[in-house]
């Protein structure tokens, strides 16, 4: 229902409606020069009301985000991804408080991105904005919004925060592997976890979750179908659906893992203390063997082994598609974006190949006359 009244030198319109719970709501706007203009606006609101576009705008951005996550995402994402969603919830609560969803402007959101990006890396800003945008698109589908305030936003970030990947050369990987193998002792399973990462490129949570039934010693495969939640100390889903995969492994790794059977544990890397080495534990071991091997990489950590595994495969000419499948990525674009670098040896190898090709291009040599008939 719409009502009109004279307001100063112009006109004001007021529209009311009832929600599904029978509660009455109002919205009004003034400043129309004529009553006809006010009626035209009221007609527009009436149409939106019938379409459900202004059914109930009392919910805050933070409130809707939480409801959206609980309804659509909570049971479908891995714990590590859920942590990211929860961090964004706290971020929105800090910056927008109880502000209503439909009251946030594009300018306000841009200022929020500017402030957040000033102290965060590009990847963090992109992922944060992507999740918030998905939430807002859902709100539009629910007809709680008519305009997407996240649209055409200029993403800002701090280049200094950009994480640079530290990886080893082929010789360094070989040296590290040799050093680890010399230290292997079934009582200390963290060394075996490092060796597994070098030869498979698996994530730490995937390695920690391995049970003996996941390793097929006859077919030389590892079945990656779960992850280990270090916070809750229990098995959970892999990072994504595509992370579930079966990969081939080499005999050196198989022989090393077979040594752990004498521990008599259900989990492959459960140590003599009856626990699975923590992230801090394996990284401490990694720093120790790096120092022992004489490799100076202060920023090198366990996840860097995954990057080094990719660099190693690229160096030996393995195509991007099988690498992507081995890593558990949903498509090759993700692999290309994450590993758009080549190790030093690969660049040198490519440069040498180019030089060799150019050296063999001898324009003085006779070229067959292909215009003549030949038998």
pLDDT in tens, 330-366: 887 777 666 655 444 555 666 666 667 677 766 554 4
Tell me what the pLDDT averaged over the chain comes to.
85
Residue 354: the pLDDT is 65
Give me Rg for the CA atoms of the chain.
30
Q: Read off the pTM.
A: 0.65
Q: Which of 310, 364, 309 is nearest to 332 (CA)?
A: 310
- Separation between Cα atoms, residue 23 and residue 29, nearest integer Å: 21
- Separation between Cα atoms, residue 251 and residue 116, nearest integer Å: 48
Helix (H, G, I), strand (E, B) or coil at 211: strand
25 and 16 in contact (C-beta within 8 Å)?
yes
Q: Which fold has domain 61-161?
A: DNA polymerase; domain 1 (1.10.150)
pLDDT in tens, 101-122: 989 999 999 999 999 999 998 8
Q: What is the dihedral of CA 155, 134, 225, 203, to 10 degrees?
A: 10
pLDDT in tens, 134-170: 999 999 988 888 889 999 999 999 988 776 667 788 8
Residue 18: the pLDDT is 53
Residue ranges per domain, the chain? 2-51, 61-161, 170-348
- The answer to whether domain 61-161 and domain 170-348 are alike in fold is no
170-348 CATH: 1.10.443.10
Residue 209, number of CB atoms within 10 A of its CB: 24
């Amino acid at each position: 229902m719409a009502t009109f009244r004279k307001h100063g030198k112009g006109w004001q319109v007021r529209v009311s409606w009832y929600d599904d719970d029978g509660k009455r709501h109002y919205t009004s706007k003034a400043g129309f020069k004529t009553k006809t203009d006010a009626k035209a606006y009221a007609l527009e609101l009436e149409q939106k009301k019938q379409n459900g576009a202004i059914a109930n705008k009392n919910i805050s951005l933070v409130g809707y985000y939480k409801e959206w996550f609980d309804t659509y995402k909570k049971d479908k994402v891995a714990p590590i991804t859920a942590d990211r969603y929860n961090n964004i919830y706290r971020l929105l609560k800090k910056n927008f408080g109880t502000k209503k969803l439909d009251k946030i402007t594009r300018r306000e959101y841009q200022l929020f991105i500017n402030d957040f990006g000033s102290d965060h890396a590009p990847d963090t800003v992109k992922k944060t904005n992507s999740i918030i945008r998905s939430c807002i698109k859902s709100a539009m589908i629910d007809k709680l919004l008519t305009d997407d305030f996240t649209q055409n936003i200029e993403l800002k970030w701090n280049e200094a925060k950009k994480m640079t990947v530290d990886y080893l050369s082929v010789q360094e990987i070989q040296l590290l592997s040799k050093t680890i193998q010399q230290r292997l002792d079934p009582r200390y399973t963290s060394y075996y976890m490092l060796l597994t990462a070098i030869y498979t490129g698996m994530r730490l949570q995937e390695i920690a979750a391995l049970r003996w039934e996941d390793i097929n010693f006859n077919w030389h495969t590892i079945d990656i179908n779960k992850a280990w939640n270090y916070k809750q100390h229990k098995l959970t889903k892999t990072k994504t659906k595509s992370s579930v995969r079966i990969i081939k492994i080499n005999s050196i790794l198989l022989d090393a893992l077979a040594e752990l059977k004498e521990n008599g544990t259900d989990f492959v890397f459960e140590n003599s203390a009856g626990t699975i080495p923590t992230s801090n534990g394996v990284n401490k071991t990694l720093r120790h063997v790096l120092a022992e091997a004489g490799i100076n990489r202060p920023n090198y950590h366990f996840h860097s082994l995954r990057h080094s595994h990719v660099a190693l495969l690229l160096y030996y000419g393995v195509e991007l598609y099988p690498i992507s499948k081995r890593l558990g990525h949903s498509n090759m674009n993700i692999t290309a974006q994450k590993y758009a670098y080549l190790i030093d040896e690969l660049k040198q190898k490519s440069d040498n190949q180019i030089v060799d090709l150019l050296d063999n291009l001898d324009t003085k040599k006779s070229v067959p006359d292909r215009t003549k008939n030949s038998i």
